[in-house]
Structure 1
Amino acid sequence: MDFSELIQLRFGANPEAGLLRTFAIALAIGLLIGLERERHAEPVAGLRTFGLTGLLGAVCAMLAEMYAFPWLLAAGVLAVGGMTVTAHIHDRAARADPDTTTTVAIMLCFGLGALVWGGYAEIAAPLAIVVTSLLYFKPELKGITEGLGRRDLVSILQFGVLSLIILPVVPDRGYGPYGALNPHRIWLMVVLISGVSLAGYLALRMVGPKHGAALVGLLGGLVSSTATTLTYSREARESGSDTRLSALVILLACSVVFGRLAVLCAVTAPALLTGLWPLLLAGALPLLGAAALTWKHMGEQGPPSMPEVGNPTELRTSLSFGALYALVLVLAAILSNEVGAGGLYALAAVSGMTDVDAIALSGMQLLGLDQIGGDEAITVIGLAVLSNTVVKAATAVAVGGRALGRRITAGFGGSALAIVATLLWVQANGAAS
C-alpha cells in the first residue's frame, strides 16, 4: 500500500479536508501552549514559535511515514530542542534564568503535533491543556511545594511505594473461603483508600486553619472523620458554652464520609452507584443542612485548630487497613454463603462502628463476585454507615459534652433517620438490579 492509498484509507473520500483538519489541530495545540509562553517578558519561544513547532511535529510525522524514515521524528525533536537551547545560550547575558521549562515545553509541543498526525488528537489535545496548565500555574505550584514539609514528602514517597512497588508484585488470584481473598485486589483497595486519604491530608496540611473551619472540616473528614470528630469534641469541652465552631467542623467532616463512599463505589463498583446515591444523599443532606445553619449563626471566630490526623500512607496504617479489610472480606463471604443476608447485615452493623471503608468495599467486592445482589450491597453499606454515624455522634457528645450535643443532634439524628428510611424503602421496593 503506497502513501496515497494510506491517506485515502485514513481520511476517507475527502482526504484534503482530513489533512487540513489534522494540521489545524496540530497548529492549535502549538498556539495554545505558545499563548501561555507569550505572557513572559522577552520569551525565547512564544506564540508563533510554538504554533510552528506543533505544525512541524505533524509534518515530520507525515514525512517519516511517507518515506518510511522513522528517524526523522527523532531528528526533528532534537533539532527543535537544540535550537531552543542555542537561543537560551545566546540570550544568557540578558537572562539569569536558563528557562529550561520552555525547552521541554517546545519539545513536548513537537511530540504532540506528531501524535495528532498518528491519529491520537483525542489524547494530544487534553495533554496540551495539561501542559499549558502546568506552565500557567507556576506560582501556585511553587507555593504548594513550599508549603510541604519533610513529613509530607515522606507521605508522598510512601504512597509511591504502596502503589508502584508493592502493588504490581502482589499475586492476582483468589484464595481462602469462596476465593474471597485476592491479594492484588486487597492491596489495590489499600492503595485506593490511602490515595483518597493522602489527597485530603496534603490539602489539609497546605491549606491549614487559615481558610476557616468549613474547609478544615471538609478536608479533615476526607482524611479521617473519626479523628476530626475526636479532636473537635475535645476542643468543644475546653471552649465551654460556645461550641459552634466545633459543631460545624464535626458536621462537615462526618458528611464527607458519604462523598468518600461515592468515590469508592464509582471506582470499584460503578454499576451500583445508580442505586446507592439516594442513600448517600439522604445521609449527607441533614448533616450539611445542620452545618449550614451553624455557620449562618456563627460570629467572628479565631482560626480553628488542626485535627490530629496521622499520615494515612504509613506502612503500619496501610497494613492495618489491609488486614482489617481481608478479615471483614472473609467473614462477609462466609456469612453471606453460610448464614445468609442476616449474618452479613449483622457484620456490617458491627464492623461499621469502627470503620466504614472495609465493610463497604467488602460488599462491593461480593457484588462483583455475584455472591450478593445490588440491594443487599446497598443495605450492607447503609447499615455500616448508620452504625458509624451513631457511634461518632455518641462519641462527640460523650467527649464534647451536652452543649456540643445540642448543636449536632439535629444533623446526626436527621442523617440516621434518613438512612433508616432509605434502607426500608430499598427492602420494600428494591433500588438496584
Structure 2
Amino acid sequence: MDWNEVVRALSAALGIGLLIGAVRERAHVDGSSVAGVRTHALLALLGAIAYGFGTAAYVAVLLAVALLAHAAYVRTRDQDPGLTGEVAMLLTVALAGLTRESPSLAAGLGVVVAVLLWAKDPLRRLSRELISEREMKDGLLLAAAALVVLPLLPDVPLDPWGVLQPAMLWRIVVLVLAVGMVGHVALRAVGARRGLPVAGFFSGFASSTAAVASYGRLARDQPRLATEAAAAALLSNLASVLLLAAVIGAVSPGFLRTAAWPLGGAAIGLLLVAATGLHRTRGDSPAAEAPQARAFRLSHAIGIALPIAAVMLAAEALRRSFGDAGALIGATVAALAELQAAGATIARLAEIGGLPHAQARWGVAGLLAASALTKLVLAFASGGARYGRITGGGLVLMVVLAAAGAWLAPA
C-alpha cells in the first residue's frame, strides 16, 4: 500500500466534503439543513475509507447513506420538498470513492458540484425567466446537432480530392447555430450594449462569417440596434484575426513574425471602428426589444455551409491545375468562405519554401481582403444599409491597415 497515495486521496476527499458541506450550510442559514459541513466531511472520509476495503464495503456504505438520505427526505419534505440535499450526500460519498482512483478528477468534479449547488438562484432565473419555451426547443435542437448528429458523421471525404468531409461541414452548421444561440441569450441576459459586444467577440472564434450574418439579421429585425450589432460583428472579425494568427503560428512560427505586421494592422482597424461605434451609443443606447422567438434557423446555417463546400472544391481544383501559384489563388478564393484554412495554406507554403516570406505576407493581406469582400456583401444583404455601412467601414479599414502593415514590414 502506498501511504502517500492514501493520504492524498483522504485529503482530497476531506476537501470535497468540506467544500460541498459549506455550500449546503450556507444554503440553509436557518439551520434546517440535514447535512452541513461536518456531515459532508464525515461522509467523504467514510466513502474514501470504505473504498479501500473493497467494492462490497463501498456499496454497503452507499446503500446506508441512501437510506439516511431517504429518512432525511421523509422528515423534511413538508418544509423542503426538493431532493438537492439528499443527492448531494450521495455525490459526496461517490466522489470520495473516486479519490482513491483519481484524486485530481474527483477534486475537479467536487468543485463543479459545489458551483452547481451554489448557483441555485442564477440557474433558476436562467431556466424560468431568461429562456423561453421556443428557445428551449432551439437549445435541444442545437444539442442534438452537436452531440447526436455530429458524432455519427464520417470524417472520410466524399469526393476523390479529399475536400468535402461531412463531419467538417456539419461542424460549420453547428457553429452557426451556436453563434445564434449565444448572441440571442446574451441579448436577453444583459441587454444590447453589453451582451452583443461580448457575444460578438467570442462568436468570432467559431465563425466570423456566421456572426456577420447573424448580427445582420438582428439589425434587420431591430433597426435601433444596428450600430451595436455592427460593432459586435467587427469584434467577431477581430477574434477571427487573432485565431488566424494562432493558426499561422502553429503551422509556421517563423512566418508568424512576418505575418504579424498585416495581422496587427487588421486588428487595429477593426478595434478602432468597433470602439467608435460603441462610444457613440454610450448613454443613449436604445433598450433592447424582446428578441425574436427563434434563436436561430437551421436553414440559415445550412445555407452558409453549402457555399463554403463549393468554394473549397474550387480552391482545390485550382491548386491541382496550377501548383503552388494555383494554391495561392485557391487560398485566396478559399478565404471568401474560410479564413483560417486559407491562412494555414499560406503558412505551409511559406514554411516549405514555396513562397518567399515577403510574398506570403502580401498573401495574408490578400486573404483578409477576400474575406472582407464576402462579409461586406453579406453585411448589406443580411442587415441592410446602416448595418452594412458600419460593418463595411470597419472591414475596409482592416484591409487598408493590413496592406499598410505588409508594406511597412521589414524585409
Q: Quick check: TM above 0.5?
A: yes
Partners in 2 of 1:285 and 1:399 — Cα distance?
24
Aligned amino acid, residue 283 of structure 1? A
Partner of 2:385: 399
Residue 39 of structure 1 aligns to a residue in which SS?
helix
Kindly state the Cα deviation for residue 132 of structure 1 after the two structures are TM-superposed. 0.9
Q: Distance in 2 between matches of 1:193 and 1:372?
A: 31
Match of 1:32 in 2: 19
Q: Where does residue 56 of structure 2 map in the other structure? A: 71
Query: Take 2:383 and 2:310, find their aligned partners in 1: how far apart are those partners?
Result: 31
Q: Tell me the residue number matched to 1:44.
A: 34
| Deviation per residue, 1:300-347 (Å, 9 max, x gap) | 315344598895764323433332232222222222222345555556
Match of residue 368, structure 2, among 363, 375, 382 = 382
Shift of 1:264: 8.7
Q: Is the 8 A contact 2:163 2:313 kept in 1?
A: yes
**Partner of residue 131, structure 2:** 148
CA distance in 2, matches of 1:72, 1:143: 41
Structure 2 counterpart of 1:194: 177
Unmatched runs of 5 consecutive residues or more in structure 2: 204-209
* Residues 57 and 110, structure 1, Cα contact 8 Å, conserved in 2: yes
Q: Which residue of 1 aligns with 2:66?
A: 81
Identify the residue that residue 206 of structure 2 maps to in structure 1. none
Q: Tell me, what secondary structure is at the counterpart of 2:338?
A: helix
Question: TM (normalized to structure 1)?
Answer: 0.73
- For residues 364 and 349 of structure 1, what CA distance do their matches in structure 2 show? 9
Once the two structures are TM-superposed, the CA of residue 291 in structure 1 deviates from its matched residue by 3.6
Question: 228, 231, 256: which one pairs with 2:215?
Answer: 228
Any gaps of 5 or more consecutive residues in structure 1?
1-6, 65-69, 240-244
Q: Distance in 2 between matches of 1:136 and 1:232?
A: 37
Letter aligned with residue 116 of structure 2: L
**Is the alpha carbon distance of 1:114 and 1:330 closer, same or farther for their aligned partners in structure 2, counting shifts above 3 Å?**
same
Q: CA deviation at 1:124?
A: 1.4
2:108 equivalent in structure 1: 126
Q: Report the Cα distance in structure 2 between the residues aligned to 1:408 and 1:215, rounded to whole angstroms.
A: 18
**Which residue of the other structure, out of 51, 56, 59, is the alignment partner of 2:49?**
59
Matched, 1:216 2:196: yes
What is the letter of the counterpart of residue 401 of structure 2?
Answer: A
Structure 2: distance between partners of 1:136 and 1:85: 22
Residue 102 of structure 1 and its aligned partner are, at CA, apart by: 1.6
What is the aligned partner in structure 1 of residue 147 from structure 2? Answer: 164
Contact 2:315 2:334 in 1 (8 A): no
Residue in 2 aligned with 1:251?
231
Q: Structure 2 vs 1, CA of residues 383 and 60 (structure 1 numbering), >3 Å: closer, same or farther?
A: farther
> Hey, what does 1:4 align to over in structure 2?
none
Assess if the C-alpha contact under 8 Å between 1:262 and 1:273 holds in 2: no
Q: CA deviation at 1:421?
A: 3.6
2:157 maps to a residue whose letter is G
Equivalenced residues, count: 388
Which amino acid in the other structure matches residue 62 of structure 2?
Answer: V
Classify 1:367/1:142 alpha carbon distance in 2 versus 1 (closer, same or farther; 3 Å): farther
Give secondary structure in 1 for the equivalent of 2:53.
Answer: helix
CA distance in 2, matches of 1:329, 1:49: 60
Cα deviation 1:219-275 (Å, max 9, x = unaligned): 357463235347548977xx8xxxxx7445423322222325656997x99825964
- Would you say the 8 A contact 1:227–1:307 is kept in 2? no
Q: 1:315 to 1:390 in 2, by over 3 A?
A: closer
| CA 100–262 in structure 1, closer or farther in 2 if over 3 Å, else same | farther
> 2: CA distance between counterparts of 1:309 and 1:220?
18
1:23–1:230 CA distance, 2 compared to 1 (3 A): closer
Q: What one-letter code is carried by the residue in structure 2 that aligns with 1:52?
A: L
Deviations 1:37-71 (A, max 9, x none): 0102221111111112222221122111xxxxx23
Candidates 270, 273, 278, aligned match of 1:287: 270
Among 172, 175, 193, the residue aligned to 2:158 = 175
Q: Counterpart of 1:43 in 2: which secondary structure?
A: coil
Query: Residues 36 and 330 (structure 1 numbering): CA distance in 2 closer, same or farther, change over 3 Å?
Result: same
| Letter paired with 2:5 | G
Q: TM-score, normalised by structure 2?
A: 0.77
Return the offset for 1:161. Answer: 2.1
- Take 1:126 and 1:264, find their aligned partners in 2: how far apart are those partners? 32
Code of the residue aligned with 1:400 in structure 2: it is R
* Distance change in 2, residues 1:386/1:214 (3 Å): same
Residue in structure 2 matched with residue 242 of structure 1 by the alignment: none
- Backbone CA RMSD of aligned residues: 4.1
Structure-2 change in CA distance of 1:397 and 1:31 (3 Å): closer
* Corresponding residue of 2:397: 414
Shift of 1:110: 1.3
1:350, distance to aligned residue in structure 2 (A): 5.8
Aligned match of 1:323: 306
SS at match of 1:38: helix
CA deviations 1:383-421 (Å, max 9, x no partner) are 4433245546877998239xx95x778744432222324
Equivalent position amino acid for 1:321 in 2: I
Counting aligned pairs with the same residue, the percent is: 24
Q: Which residue of 2 aligns with 1:67?
A: none
Match for residue 103 of structure 1?
A: 86
